[in-house]
Structure formats: structure tokens, C-alpha cells
């Protein structure tokens, strides 16, 4: 029997080991779903935890589309305490589905009016704005003798065939804000016609919104439709790219934050929202983004496009939020389906 | 249990019998929960609509009515077919060289050919981007074709599948009856004819089995198409896109069911083939000893060296990619790509998670697998239970990782499942990985146990030693080399696998292989290469340690084999 007990003991040890693997430390951990860029996670987390030493952020990060779909899927059995750094169009969608715990963070009145939900208490608060931009590899363009595009229309030129890369709007927030920007600024019929033409030149639709710019920076493709922040970052790292905000104006979105309804860590989530609305937090955002929610926080970001605020189109978030599903279904039908064998 | 035995003895036998039964039932129940129940829930899910109501074949109808999705079937079959046609001849010649000729350096050639097993499948794809991408070092060789798409997938899969085909073909070609060749030589049969009428037919089951294995591996692999597929959609990436991108679980379940088809076919063929393969060699067969034929040996050496160079070249490219600062503009070397914190939110943590997960899998998995195999092979009585356990142990071979992972989401995340607390834990990753790789480990264990004389159990029973003491004092030490082998097999696979766990990892349990996919998705391909190299180096280290350890063990515990 001794041996049997020994084996039983070993089995128990195995089970205990597995259980131990899932336990965690003593601080209050809040699970924060986010689509922030990877390099922002650490500074944001460190700054917040320094101000709130009793709380620890655990990130769940993916592309905008994936995080949005995941939160919708988990609606009945939510895992997230808060959602930050996600496109405001997604948060409006969640609010319409009753998934948001409304809360007015300390000092929310100080934020720019366009950067917080008009309702009181607000469902969401903005953090920063981000917009579509073209990353154009000058070295490869010269080798291939390609002109620099100035407008969205220019990108349709046949000489760019196979040289354009853009994010898939179903998974990437950047992809979606570009598409929604075209739909709003060109009108629906013309915008779909535009995208039909663009499809002829696109070599690949990527999963993430950063990838097109990174690939253009590496010269894998000449022209990446991405967003201005990633473009500035890549250029600062020394990539031979130019950041282009096309003349027709660019689609944009707010990165915003909200508390998930039903969170078991409401107090900690509120503290996170208080911090996000503070000037200190916005100064951290400003290390990456040129346009942030707190007025007067305008430190210059290296290589950030100068005319950014002027190029932002008149944006109707309600339109994007309401039509998100329909737009993505149409896009997928038109372009995802054509990705069959192709030389 | 014998009814005529005396009272005291019957008690002992009874107790043994009951412990055996309880253990068999326990392990079978474990496998049922880790395998059968999740698979059932994915199957039923494919017949339900989004709200969970029964929808009949509606999902399947929608799948075949969506050209984007049904096209993927053709694409998957195409790349799998072409890869099989390329890999099988290459692996056959390589295996022929290793078994039927006297090429020098067989140990080295075998080792090099097995390198791809140690790498996550994303590694060859990343290397191909550096070799043949739009900025690739030798992209001219593609004559203007793009590597993103079928060409890239086929080359990557060929690298990934080669060792799997090779191992099967080496086994097939090792079984040869020298008497047939002597007879042929005596009759003056030409070399070509000998090859076509003796060698090829004797290896035909191996060839069939290897073809099915390669075909299945390609159809169900996710890592290569996700990196280099471009706009060429295949089934494996469709599951991922449907489920992760659009959270359309029902459609994901439909595609998963389709992925099971080739795996199931390959499983059935393999069973049939194994049954016949045994009958090939009779008791009077004489093993074939290859003889030196300088011209042939030299040609074979050249061939093997060429294949080995390609394999090592791809590996070296990945290492190089991980060390270059900014390809292709700044070629200075750096370790910056290994500072994973700069590219991925979890940084090095996902690597440590992988190490822990692999270690738990190796330890717990080996214990369960070996105990289960022992009960199946050496247990007394309860034949039905042992049969069922053996049958369930075979199931994982027919289940692709993507399907298993998705099945876990359906089963363990279902509201109301009392096991739901496991969802999102490291424990579930371990359970899933053990289940995923159960069959090969189980077969290794049963093979080792079959070599042991059943007298051990008979003698200990008559000496009234409980079976578990015999197990612990005799069976385990004698089988130690096989046990180590199983542990290493589980460890290496747990390090490199991505297909099953991509669906069930969470923020706290992200693994290195998932980090590779994520970093590549966001464009950080050099960091993805670095992580892939790190994983490969880890499995290689463990594998080398095993080689040393097993040599030591053989010497210490296998003295009984020597005469």
C-alpha cells in the first residue's frame, strides 16, 4: 500500500504544481483589455503602478478588432475589469450593449470636450487621437523609380501594383478607421469604388495596423497604409521612410478608456480611470502621441507630422460605431474572398 | 482472478485487482475529460447557430456557399499535395542512404535531418522571408515569383515535414530480408529490377504511411501559412481568422471538422499499414547488412549533404535574422532583438512560461502516460477497461492541434461546466498539451513494456508482492530509458507547439510560440526570429542532454541486457 500512497502523493504533487501555476501575487490585480501598442504597455503600467502601488495591471493585448470581438463574445461571462487604449467606436458599441459601467473620473471636466463622452456620468474618456498615414519607403521607391504619392487617389496608380500593404479592417483598428474615413470623406459609393481600385495594388492585408508601416520601413513593400504614430516611431528608429498624410484628409479615431460593467475590482478600476484623466497620465501619452486629451499637453513628438490636427476629417463616431458590422461584412465579402490563388 | 485460490491469496489478488481497476478507470476518465468530451462539444457546436440552438447543416451550407472559405479547401489540398510529392522522394532517398548504403557519418546525417523537429514551425517561414522576401538575400532564384503564398508555404512545410517522413521511411527500409537480395543476386537480376521489385514493394507501406502523415501535417499546420501565406488562405489560418478575428466560433468549428478529415484518414491508413508491416518479416528472415559500393555511397553522401545544407542553411538564416539590427539597411549585429520587452507586452515572460509549461507537461504527462501504458500492457483482468483505455489513447493521433484547442474553448469555457475554473490556467495548457501528444508517448511506453517478460508479474504475484511494488522496483527502473525518452518528447513538443494553445492561452499564460506569432503579426519579424531561435536552442539543449543521460542510464540500468 505504501507504493500506492506514494503514487497517489505524486499525482497530488502534480495537481498541486498545476494549481500553483495559476495562482498569483497578493496585490489587487486588474485585468485590462487593450489595443495599445506594445512599447506603450510598459511605460503606462509603470507610471500607473507608481501612482497606485497597491494595484497591478495585467494586460490582455491584441489588435482592435480581436479585442472588440473578444469582449463581445465574453459579454455573458466577462473577464475584463477595464478597457483602455481601444478605439472609441468600439467603446460606443459596448455602451450600446450595456457593457460599460459609467463613471466620472476625478478632473474629467478638464479634458478637451471632444475627448470625453458628453453624457454625465460619461461612459468613456479619451486618451489620444490617432489617424491613418502612409509610410513611404524612399530608398526602395528610388530603386524602383516610383513617385511619392501625395493623395489617396495617387495610391491607385498602376505602378504601385503589388507594392501597397494595408491592415485588414476586420482585425485592425487602423484598417477600420482608414476604411471608415474613406466612407465618410468620399461618400459610400465612391469609397467602395476607391477600395476596389486599391485592392488591385494591395499585396497583402495584414493582421495588425503597425505591420504595414514596419514592412515599408524594412523595404519589404514600398507603401504601407498604417497610422501616424507608428510612422513617426519607425522614422525615429532610422528607417528610410516618409510619413504622408494624404491631401484629402485622413480618418481618425480616439483611443479611449472605460470600466467594464460587472467588474469585481470596481474600486481599482475607478482609480485607473482617475489616473487616465490626469495631466500626468496625458504627459505619458504625449511621449508617443501628438494629440492627447488633456489641453496644453503638447510636447513635440519626434518625426510626428506637423499638420496632423488640420488633416483630421470631420469624424462621426456614431456613424462608425453603428455601421461597424455592416462595413466589415461588406469589406470581407469584397476583398477577403478574392484572396484566392493569385500570382 | 482465480476462483480456486485460497482465502488469503484471493484477498491479495482482489486488492490488486481493485487497485488496477480503479487506476484504469481514473486514467480513462481523465482522458475522457481531456479529449472525448471536448471533441464532442466541438462537433455539436458545428451544428448550432450563434445562440446555441440546433441548426442542422446550416453552418456547413454557409461554409460551402462562401467562396472565400470553400476556396481554402482547394488551397490546403494543393499545398499539402505538392509538399507530399516533394518531401516523400527526398526523404526516401535520404532514408535509403541511411539504411541501405555505407555513407560515412550516418549519426551526423541523422542528427541534421532531425533538426526541424526541434524548431517551431514559424522558424522556416521567417527564414524564407529573409531569403526570398521582397528584400531577400537570394530572391532572384524565384524568378520574380512571390514567396508570400503557395511557394513559401510549400518550401516551409517541406522543411517542417521532412524529419517526420524520414523517421517512418527509415523504419520501413530497416526491415529487409537479406535472403531476397541474395536470391536476386544469384539469379543475376539487374539493380533497377531489384529496386523496383524488392526494395520499393517492401517499403510501400512506409511510403503510404509517410505520405498521409505529411499531407496531414501540412493541412493542419498553422505556423507556416500564418507567417508566409500572404493573401493565400488555407483552412488552418481560416480557423484562426474566424475564431480570433471575428469570434465566429460556429464557423471555426465547421472548419475544424474539415481539418479532422485528412487526420482521420491518415490515422486509419496508418493502423491498416501497421498490421501488414508486421507480417512482412518472418522468423527465418535474415537482416540485411549494407555493403560498401563506393560510387553509390559517394552519390548518396552528396545528396544527403545537399539536403543537410539546406536544412542547416534555413536554421542559420533564422539565427542571422535574429542578430541583424535593421534588415536590409543596417546589417550591424546586435542582441537587441532578444530584448523581447521592446516588441511584446510579455517580453521574456512568455519564454519562461513555455519552459514551465514544458516541464510540467514532461513530468505529469510522463507519469500519466507510463502508468496508463503499464495498466494496459501488464494489468491483470478487466480486459474491457484496458481495451477502452488503449483505444482512447489512440484518439489524439487523429486530432489536429487546432481542433483540440478550439474544442477546449467550447468545453471548458461553457457556462455551467464545473471544470470551468481551469479555463485560462497553466494547468489547462498542460492538460491540453499532454492530450495532444498522448499517442506517440503511449506507444513508446507500450513498446518498451512489451519487451519485458510477463514472468515478472507472475513471479511477484506468486510471491504475494503487490503489483505496484513490482512496478516501482522493477518495471520503472528497467524502462527508464523509454521514460526519459517520453519526457523529452513531451518537453520538446510542448516548447514548439502553437496550434492547440493559440486558442486557450491568456495574458498570464502566454507562451513563447504564441509570442512568435504575435510579434510577427505586428511586423517585428526579427524579434520573432529571435524567439524562434531561442525555443529551438532550448529543445536542442534538452535533446543533447537526453543523449548523454540515456547513455549513462543504459550503462547503469541496462546491464541486464548485456550478456
Residues A302, A236 contacting (CB under 8 angstroms): yes
- Give percent of chain B above pLDDT 90: 64
For B:26-65, CB contacts with A below 8 A are: none
CA pair distance A199, B423, nearest whole angstrom: 40
Tell me whether residues A168 and B245 touch, CB distance under 8 A: yes
ipTM score here? 0.81
Distance from CA of A118 to the nearest CA of B (A): 30
Output the pTM of the full model: 0.89
Task: Name chain A contacts of B507, Cβ cutoff 8 Å.
Answer: 31, 58-61
Comparing CB atoms, the residue among B507, B508, B521 nearest residue A211 is B521
- The reported pLDDT for the residue numbered B556 is 76
Q: Running DSSP on this structure, what letter comes out for residue B509?
A: G
Tell me whether residues A213 and B523 touch, CB distance under 8 A: yes
Characterize A222-260 residue by residue with b for buried, 16 or more Cβ atoms within 10 angstroms of its Cβ, and e for exposed: bbbbbbbbbbbbbbeeebbbbbbbbebbbbbbbbbbbbb
CA pair distance B396, A339, nearest whole angstrom: 33
CA pair distance B538, B545, nearest whole angstrom: 11
- The reported pLDDT for the residue numbered A4 is 52
User: Which superfamily does CATH assign the domain made up of A24-129+253-306 to?
Assistant: Periplasmic binding protein-like II (3.40.190.10)
- The reported pLDDT for the residue numbered A6 is 53
CA pair distance B390, B425, nearest whole angstrom: 28
Average pLDDT for B446-454: 89
Nearest chain A Cα to B520, which residue?
Answer: A211
Tell me whether residues A204 and B343 touch, CB distance under 8 A: no
Nearest chain B Cα to A210, which residue?
Answer: B522
Q: Pick the closest to residue A169 from A232, A115, A225 (CA basis).
A: A225
Comparing CB atoms, the residue among B129, B343, B360 nearest residue A21 is B360
What is the interface size between A and B, counted as CB pairs within 8 Å?
169
Say how many C-beta atoms besides its own lie within 10 A of residue A15's C-beta: 12
Task: Return the ∠ at Cα A133 (arms to A128 and A137), rounded to 5°.
Answer: 135
Q: Pick the closest to residue A221 from A329, A135, A112, A157 (CA basis).
A: A135
- Please name the CATH architecture into which domain A130-252+311-338 falls: 3-Layer(aba) Sandwich (3.40)
Q: Running DSSP on this structure, what letter comes out for residue B151?
A: H
CA pair distance A159, A103, nearest whole angstrom: 52
CA pair distance B428, B434, nearest whole angstrom: 10
Task: Name chain A contacts of B231, Cβ cutoff 8 Å.
Answer: 203-205, 339, 342
CATH topology match: A24-129+253-306 vs A130-252+311-338: yes
Tell me whether residues B364 and A339 touch, CB distance under 8 A: no
Above 50 in pLDDT, residue A77? yes
Q: What's the pLDDT tens digit per position in B353-396?
A: 999 999 999 999 999 999 999 999 988 888 999 999 999 999 99
Chosen from B337, B475, B522, B526 to mutate, greatest number of chain A CBs within 10 A: B522
Per-domain residue ranges of chain A? 24-129+253-306, 130-252+311-338
pLDDT band at B11 (very low <50, low <70, confident <90, very high): low
Q: Report chain A's terminal Cα–Cα distance, integer Å.
A: 69
- The reported pLDDT for the residue numbered B423 is 87
pLDDT band at A268 (very low <50, low <70, confident <90, very high): very high
Say how many C-beta atoms besides its own lie within 10 A of residue B355's C-beta: 17
More reliable by pLDDT, B561 or B493: B493
Comparing CB atoms, the residue among B71, B508, B522 nearest residue A211 is B522
Above 60 in pLDDT, residue A341? no
Q: What's the pLDDT tens digit per position in B110-160?
A: 999 999 999 999 999 999 999 999 999 999 999 989 999 999 999 999 999
In Å, how far are B119, B431, B495, B541 from B488, measured between CA atoms?
A: 14, 17, 10, 11
Q: Running DSSP on this structure, what letter comes out for residue B559?
A: G
Residues A180, A317 contacting (CB under 8 angstroms): no
CA pair distance B41, B183, nearest whole angstrom: 57
Q: What's the pLDDT tens digit per position in B253-297?
A: 999 999 999 888 888 888 887 777 655 566 677 888 888 999 999
CA pair distance B401, B434, nearest whole angstrom: 11
Domains of chain B: 1-45+360-509 (1.10.3720.10), 58-274+291-334 (1.10.3720.10)
CA pair distance B164, B206, nearest whole angstrom: 12
Q: In A164-278, which ranges are continuous DSSP H helix? A: 173-186, 188-201, 211-217, 228-236, 266-276
Q: Pick the closest to residue B112 from B311, B369, B292, B357 (CA basis).
A: B311
- The reported pLDDT for the residue numbered B40 is 95
- Give percent of chain A above pLDDT 70: 90
Sole residue written with cell 542532454: B545
Q: Running DSSP on this structure, what letter comes out for residue B188?
A: T
- Name the least confident of A24-38, B410-424, B502-516, B523-537: A24-38
Average pLDDT for A108-115: 93
Tell me whether residues A18 and B66 touch, CB distance under 8 A: no
pLDDT band at B13 (very low <50, low <70, confident <90, very high): low
For A:309-338, CB contacts with B below 8 A are: 332, 336-338
Mean pLDDT for chain B? 90
CA pair distance B506, B509, nearest whole angstrom: 5
Amino acid at each position: 500500500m505504501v507504493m500506492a500512497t506514494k503514487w497517489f502523493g505524486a499525482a497530488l504533487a502534480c495537481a498541486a504544481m498545476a494549481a500553483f501555476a495559476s495562482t498569483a501575487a497578493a496585490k489587487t490585480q486588474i485585468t485590462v483589455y487593450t489595443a495599445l501598442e506594445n512599447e506603450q504597455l510598459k511605460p503606462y503600467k509603470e507610471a500607473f503602478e507608481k501612482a497606485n502601488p497597491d494595484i497591478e495591471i495585467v494586460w490582455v493585448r491584441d489588435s482592435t478588432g480581436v479585442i472588440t470581438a473578444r469582449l463581445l463574445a465574453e459579454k455573458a461571462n466577462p473577464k475584463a475589469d477595464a478597457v483602455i487604449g481601444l478605439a472609441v467606436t468600439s467603446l460606443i458599441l459596448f455602451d450600446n450593449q450595456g457593457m460599460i459601467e459609467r463613471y466620472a473620473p476625478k478632473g474629467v471636466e478638464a479634458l478637451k470636450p471632444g475627448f470625453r463622452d458628453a453624457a454625465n456620468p460619461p461612459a468613456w474618456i479619451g486618451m489620444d487621437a490617432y489617424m491613418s498615414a502612409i509610410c513611404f519607403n524612399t530608398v526602395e521607391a528610388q530603386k524602383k523609380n516610383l513617385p511619392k504619392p501625395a493623395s489617396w487617389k495617387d495610391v491607385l496608380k498602376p505602378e504601385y501594383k503589388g507594392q501597397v500593404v494595408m491592415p485588414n479592417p476586420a482585425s485592425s483598428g487602423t484598417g477600420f478607421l482608414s476604411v471608415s474615413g474613406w466612407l465618410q470623406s468620399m461618400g459610400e459609393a465612391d469609397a467602395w469604388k476607391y477600395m476596389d481600385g486599391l485592392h488591385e495594388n494591395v499585396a497583402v492585408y495584414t493582421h495588425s495596423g503597425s505591420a504595414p508601416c514596419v514592412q515599408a520601413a524594412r523595404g519589404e513593400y514600398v507603401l504601407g497604409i498604417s497610422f501616424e504614430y507608428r510612422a513617426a516611431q519607425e522614422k525615429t528608429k532610422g528607417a528610410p521612410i516618409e510619413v504622408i498624410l494624404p491631401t484629402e484628409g485622413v480618418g481618425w479615431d480616439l483611443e479611449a478608456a472605460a470600466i467594464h460593467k460587472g467588474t469585481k475590482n470596481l474600486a481599482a478600476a475607478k482609480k485607473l480611470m482617475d489616473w487616465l484623466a490626469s495631466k500626468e497620465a496625458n504627459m505619458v501619452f504625449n511621449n508617443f502621441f501628438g494629440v492627447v486629451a488633456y489641453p496644453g499637453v503638447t510636447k513635440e513628438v519626434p518625426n510626428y507630422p506637423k499638420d496632423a490636427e488640420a488633416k483630421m476629417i470631420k469624424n462621426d463616431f456614431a456613424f462608425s460605431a453603428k455601421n461597424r458590422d455592416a462595413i466589415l461584412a461588406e469589406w470581407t465579402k469584397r476583398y477577403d474572398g478574392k484572396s484566392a490563388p493569385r500570382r | 482472478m482465480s476462483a480456486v485460490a485460497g482465502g488469503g491469496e484471493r484477498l491479495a489478488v482482489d486488492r490488486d485487482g481493485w487497485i488496477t481497476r480503479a487506476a484504469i478507470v481514473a486514467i480513462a476518465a481523465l482522458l475522457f475529460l481531456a479529449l472525448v468530451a471536448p471533441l464532442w462539444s466541438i462537433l455539436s457546436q458545428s451544428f448550432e447557430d450563434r445562440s446555441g440552438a440546433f441548426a442542422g447543416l446550416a453552418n456547413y451550407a454557409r461554409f460551402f456557399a462562401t467562396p472565400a472559405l470553400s476556396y481554402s479547401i482547394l488551397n490546403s489540398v494543393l499545398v499539402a499535395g505538392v509538399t507530399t510529392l516533394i518531401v516523400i522522394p527526398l526523404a526516401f532517398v535520404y532514408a535509403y542512404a541511411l539504411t541501405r548504403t555505407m555513407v560515412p557519418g550516418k549519426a551526423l546525417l541523422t542528427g541534421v535531418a532531425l533538426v526541424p523537429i526541434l524548431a517551431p514551425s514559424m522558424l522556416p517561414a521567417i527564414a524564407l522571408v529573409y531569403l526570398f522576401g521582397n528584400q531577400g538575400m537570394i530572391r532572384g532564384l524565384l524568378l520574380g515569383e512571390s514567396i508570400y503564398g503557395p511557394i513559401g508555404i510549400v518550401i516551409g512545410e517541406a522543411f517542417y515535414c521532412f524529419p517526420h517522413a524520414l523517421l517512418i521511411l527509415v523504419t520501413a527500409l530497416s526491415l529487409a530480408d537479406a535472403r531476397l537480395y541474395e536470391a536476386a543476386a544469384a539469379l543475376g537480376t539487374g539493380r533497377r529490377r531489384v529496386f523496383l521489385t524488392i526494395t520499393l514493394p517492401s517499403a510501400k507501406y512506409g511510403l503510404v504511411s509517410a505520405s498521409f502523415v505529411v499531407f496531414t501535417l501540412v493541412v493542419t499546420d498553422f505556423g507556416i501559412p500564418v507567417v508566409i501565406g500572404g493573401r493565400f488562405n488555407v483552412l488552418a489560418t481560416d480557423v484562426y481568422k474566424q475564431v480570433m478575428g471575428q469570434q465566429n466560433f460556429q464557423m471555426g468549428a465547421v472548419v475544424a471538422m474539415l481539418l479532422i478529415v485528412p487526420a482521420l484518414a491518415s490515422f486509419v491508413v496508418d493502423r491498416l499499414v501497421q498490421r501488414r508491416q508486421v507480417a512482412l518479416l518472418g522468423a527465418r528472415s535474415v537482416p540485411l547488412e549494407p555493403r560498401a559500393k563506393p560510387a553509390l555511397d559517394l552519390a548518396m553522401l552528396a545528396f544527403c549533404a545537399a539536403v543537410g545544407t539546406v536544412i542547416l542553411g534555413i536554421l542559420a538564416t533564422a539565427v542571422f535574422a535574429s542578430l541583424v539590427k535593421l534588415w536590409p539597411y543596417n546589417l550591424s549585429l546586435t542582441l537587441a532583438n532578444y530584448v523581447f520587452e521592446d516588441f511584446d507586452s510579455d517580453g521574456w515572460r512568455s519564454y519562461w512560461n513555455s519552459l514551465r509549461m514544458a516541464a510540467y507537461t514532461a513530468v505529469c504527462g510522463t507519469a500519466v502516460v507510463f502508468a496508463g501504458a503499464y495498466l494496459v500492457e501488464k494489468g491483470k483482468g478487466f480486459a474491457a477497461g484496458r481495451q477502452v483505455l488503449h483505444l482512447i489513447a489512440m484518439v489524439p493521433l487523429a486530432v489536429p492541434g487546432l481542433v483540440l484547442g478550439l474544442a477546449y474553448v467550447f468545453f471548458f469555457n461553457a457556462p455551467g461546466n464545473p471544470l470551468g475554473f481551469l479555463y485560462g490556467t497553466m494547468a489547462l495548457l498542460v492538460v491540453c498539451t499532454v492530450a495532444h501528444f498522448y499517442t506517440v508517448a503511449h506507444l513508446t511506453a507500450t513498446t518498451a513494456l512489451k519487451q519485458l517478460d510477463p514472468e515478472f508479474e507472475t513471479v511477484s504475484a506468486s510471491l504475494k508482492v503487490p503489483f505496484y511494488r513490482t512496478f516501482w522496483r522493477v518495471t520503472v527502473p528497467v524502462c527508464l530509458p523509454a521514460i526519459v525518452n517520453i519526457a523529452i518528447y513531451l518537453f520538446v513538443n510542448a516548447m514548439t507547439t502553437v496550434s492547440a494553445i493559440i486558442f486557450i492561452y491568456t495574458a498570464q499564460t502566454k507562451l513563447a510560440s504564441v509570442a512568435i506569432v504575435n510579434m510577427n503579426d505586428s511586423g517585428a519579424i526579427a524579434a520573432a526570429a529571435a524567439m524562434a531561435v531561442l525555443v529551438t536552442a532550448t529543445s536542442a539543449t534538452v535533446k543533447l542532454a537526453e543523449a548523454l543521460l540515456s547513455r549513462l542510464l543504459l550503462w547503469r540500468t541496462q546491464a541486464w541486457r548485456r550478456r
